[in-house]
């Protein structure tokens, strides 16, 4: 893993109107390519890439695939499903997490891997989930009372691994942060 970077970003929010300072630390690992990941994570990337091919994205032309590794070893797949009535579609992350919650309520999600392809994002830009998916990921983490690793694989293969979904959504709605 010659190209692994351990990174910590310290974000300082100055909320002077409230006379307080808030510090939020984000820990993640950045890889030049997903091929540097451990075997189990590489298998999740393969699964997410496979289901990405089955996404229904005729409007955005941006296909997303998600693979959720459960505590029992099962892998749940999801891909984005668009609809001409825009709010009726679902993102890949929510498809996978809602399916896991509905069908495996006693299992927790260890890792959620997300991949995407299409022209919506520049080829070399790091992939990032939408705000709604971040909230659902955090709710999943809160419900299971344990962190969920998040693996984001960009189109150019650069990969970022977060140790917790909470790192993706400071000031989340309905949390005790």
Over residues 34-63, the pLDDT tens digits come to 999 999 999 999 999 999 999 999 999 999
For residue 176, being part of any structural domain is answered with no
Question: Distance of alpha carbon 6 from its chain centroid, rounded?
Answer: 18
For residue 11, being part of any structural domain is answered with no
The residue with tokens 């509905």 is: 102
Q: Which residues are catalytic?
A: 93
Domains: count for the chain: 1
Which of 130, 153, 152, 134 lies closest to 142 in space, CA to CA?
Answer: 134
Which of 169, 79, 160 lies closest to 127 in space, CA to CA?
Answer: 160
Over residues 66-105, the pLDDT tens digits come to 999 999 999 999 999 999 998 899 999 999 999 999 999 9
Our CA angle for 91, 68, 129, nearest 5°, is: 35
Q: How far apart are CA 137 and CA 101, in angstroms?
A: 11
What does DSSP say about strands 20-31 and 75-79: parallel, antiparallel, or unpaired?
Answer: unpaired
List of residues 6+ apart from 116 with CB closer than 8 A = 52, 62, 63, 64, 65, 127, 153, 154, 155
For residue 135, being part of any structural domain is answered with yes
Over residues 107-166, the pLDDT tens digits come to 999 999 999 999 999 999 989 999 999 999 999 999 999 999 999 999 999 999 999 999
Strand partners, 56: 81
For residue 116, being part of any structural domain is answered with yes
Q: What is the pLDDT of residue 17?
A: 52
For residue 15, being part of any structural domain is answered with no
Give me the CATH number covering residue 87.
Answer: 3.40.140.10
pTM of the model: 0.87
For residue 173, being part of any structural domain is answered with no
Q: Within a 10 A sphere around the Cβ of 47, how many other Cβ atoms?
A: 20
Domain that holds residue 102: 29-168
φ/ψ of residue 73, rounded to 5: 95, -10
For residue 174, being part of any structural domain is answered with no
Three-state DSSP at 67 gives strand
Q: How far apart are CA 154 and CA 116, in angstroms?
A: 7
Q: What is the pLDDT of residue 170?
A: 81
For residue 5, being part of any structural domain is answered with no
């Amino acid at each position: 893993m010659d190209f692994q970077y351990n990174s910590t970003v310290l974000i300082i929010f100055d909320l002077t109107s409230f006379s307080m300072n808030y510090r939020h630390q984000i820990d993640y690992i950045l890889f030049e390519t997903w091929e540097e990941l451990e075997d189990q994570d590489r298998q999740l990337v393969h699964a997410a890439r496979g289901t990405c091919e089955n996404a229904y994205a005729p409007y955005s032309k941006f296909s997303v695939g998600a693979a959720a590794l459960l505590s029992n070893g099962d892998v749940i797949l999801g891909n984005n499903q668009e609809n001409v009535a825009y709010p009726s579609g679902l993102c890949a992350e929510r498809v996978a997490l809602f399916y896991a919650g509905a069908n495996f309520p006693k299992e927790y999600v260890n890792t959620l891997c997300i991949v995407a392809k299409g022209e919506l994002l520049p080829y070399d830009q790091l992939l990032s989930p939408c705000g709604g998916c971040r909230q659902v990921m955090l709710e999943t983490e809160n419900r299971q009372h344990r962190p969920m690793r998040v693996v984001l694989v960009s189109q150019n293969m650069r990969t970022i691994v977060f140790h917790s979904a909470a790192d993706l959504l400071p000031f989340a709605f309905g949390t005790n942060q």
